[in-house]
Amino acid sequence: MELTAVVTGAARGIGRSVVERLRAAGYRVVAVDVSPAVADLAESGWVVPMAADVTADPTPAAAIGRATGEFGRLDLLVNNAARFLRRPILDTSDGDFDALFAVNVRPVFRFTRAALPALTETRGCVVNTASISGLIGVPNQSVYAMTKGAIVQLTRQLAIEYAARGVRVNAVAPGAVDTGFMDEARAADPDPAASLAVTLGNHPIGRMSTPDEVARAIVFLAAPESAGITGTILSVDGGYVAR
Ligand SMILES: NC(=O)c1ccc[n+]([C@@H]2O[C@H](COP(=O)([O-])OP(=O)(O)OC[C@H]3O[C@@H](n4cnc5c(N)ncnc54)[C@H](O)[C@@H]3O)[C@@H](O)[C@H]2O)c1
């Protein structure tokens, strides 16, 4: 039996590492990303790349349909695609708010709703990529933090709603991870080197996590070893929220 996953935000960063880890664990993967770079993942028959915007109305059903249609089943949904916004609230427009919720929250709801019938058949899992910003206060991230808080709460809600149906729902909450996501935000700072120093100082292990470290946590939460874990928000943050 070959397990099958759908991963969003799969072209680079954490999502790409998740695809690589899932392939190593024997999964077939539908890899969704708005970036055409997702096509690079097509070199084996194990990954179906799908260049699509998660905010587009047809994308969730199409992605889940490709998993169930081409591979016959769905065992895992990883809701990982998101955008970052670091901005003081007084500079944050209504448009910023709507745009961030449109990418970071609405597709998580819509992908999960589309996936749950197939996941109920396989007694599968959802793993969401939240953030420490959804757990604690971080300056100048009000709307981003709200989007991640929404994901934390959906994770807990659905863990309870689907526990009796055998579907587990968990999330990871990364601290800073060494991906383009943070690099781009930092490049816009007046002093990127000082900004990096503050970030590293907030992480007791003195470094960012790697995308692969987060991917391993996601794959663990999907694995049989975590059969007793649901509704958990697993921090992968070098001790950030433990301070
Ligand atoms: N990097 C960090 O420091 C950090 C920290 C905490 C949480 N996270 C979370 O980890 C997840 C992955 O982040 P990352 O660091 O790998 O970022 P990344 O920017 O490297 O990768 C995100 C991927 O999502 C894709 N994406 C964005 N909008 C999309 C859309 N509308 N449709 C389809 N694909 C879309 C991008 O093209 C990109 O390939 C996100 O949920 C992010 O909030 C990241």
CA torsion angle 11 15 16 22 (round to 10): -130
Strand order in the sheet with 28-33: 47-51, 28-33, 4-8, 76-79, 125-129, 168-174, 233-236
Q: Is 209 in the pocket of ligand 1 (CB under 6 A)?
A: no
Q: Is residue 243 part of a domain?
A: no
CATH number of the domain enclosing 33: 3.40.50.720
Answer yes or no: is 241 within a domain.
Answer: no
- Ligand 1 centroid to Cα of residue 237, in Å, is 16
Q: How far is the CA of 13 from the centre of ligand 1 (A)?
A: 7
Domain count, the chain: 1
Domain that holds residue 66: 4-236
Is 9 close to ligand 1, i.e. is its CB under 6 Å away? yes
**Ligand 1 pocket member 49 (CB < 6 A):** no
Mean pLDDT, the chain cut into blocks of 10 residues (243 residues total) = 95 98 97 97 88 98 97 98 96 98 98 98 98 96 98 98 98 96 84 91 96 98 98 98 95
**SS3 state at 126:** strand
Q: Which residues are catalytic?
A: 144
The whole-angstrom separation of Cα 207 and Cα 238 is 8
**What is the per-residue pLDDT for 187?**
85
